Amino acid sequence: MAIFKGAGVAIITPMKEDLSVNYEKLEQIIDYQIENGTDSIIICGTTGESSTLTHEEHLECIRVAINRVNGRVPVIAGTGSNCTETAVYLSKEAEKYGADALLLVTPYYNKATQGGLVKHFGTVAKQVDLPLILYNVPSRTGCNILPETVARMAKEYENITAIKEASGNIAQVAKVAQLTEGTVDIYSGNDDQIVPVLSLGGLGVISVLSNVAPRQTHEIVASFLGGDTKKSLEMQLAALPLIDALFCEVNPIPVKAAMNMLGFETGPLRNPLTEMEPAHKEILKAAMIQYGLPVKA
């Protein structure tokens, strides 16, 4: 059974001006997401600035999200690390808190061979009972999970059940679909490739766009899965200028700026991420207005 179908939000982590985590604001944003059709909450992923959260903050964000969601939609906890022991620790704790699934990014910086990836993910898989979503984003990690490796892990570990594919390589996504023969659920990790991934049998998207346009992102997927592929495609294409603007600087710089423009007061970013360049901010603002979002600032 799929962890979710539709649009899951790779949710931001709001900060106070002193750069402490704003848990109250996080709860408000979670409610807003669910009220506007988001199908799953993905907490402490890349978009959530997980790399600059302490372990205590990371786990508290997961706990707060699970408690606030209270079973309304699945909660997927980002528990990946470039250290296998750390990934195991975070994963076991998230399971104790009641997460529905785990999102595990490939080891970054130190990277790994394909055999190393099997050992890394397999070690986590053996330590927890939750479904695992592999997160393949080689542009950020320098490490690509080959389709053959995905298929191997799915056969060896029954709880490796899904992949967030953000390689940007549609041919690779197709190869994953072919080799896994429906045993691995595929989610787009790129907002500009939702429809292409769905056309290859994908079940949805783990989305940055959903932070600012949850209803529309949900509709892109729901329309496709409901058989209205024409509407889905039209909505995908209409969102492209905004998606481009949301990635004109490294994620999550633009999406956090966008949330602040919408009046959510999500605060600043932690270094080494910096505030958005003024020229890029104007491009983002114009794209948001063109898309029909209620920009307040």
Catalytic site residue from 135, 187, 281, 291: 135
Of residues 79, 77, 61, the one with CA closest to residue 25:
61
115 Cβ contact list (under 8 Å, min separation 6)? none
CB 10 within 8 A of CB 42: yes
- Determine how β-strand 185-188 pairs with β-strand 40-43: unpaired
135 annotated active-site: yes
* Angle (deg, nearest 10), helices 229-246 and 278-291: 160
Cis amide leading into 278 (omega within 30): no
Count other C-beta atoms under 10 Å from residue 200's C-beta. 17
Catalytic site residue from 164, 256, 281, 291: 164
CB 291 within 8 A of CB 213: yes
Segments in 75-183 forming alpha helices (H): 84-97, 114-127, 138-141, 147-156, 170-180
Count other C-beta atoms under 10 Å from residue 129's C-beta. 9
Backbone phi, psi, residue 67, to 5°: -65, -40
285 annotated active-site: no
154 Cβ contact list (under 8 Å, min separation 6)? 160, 161, 180, 183, 184
SS3 content of the chain, % helix, strand, coil (to 5): 50, 15, 35
Backbone phi, psi, residue 105, to 5°: -75, 150
Catalytically active residues, by annotation: 135, 164
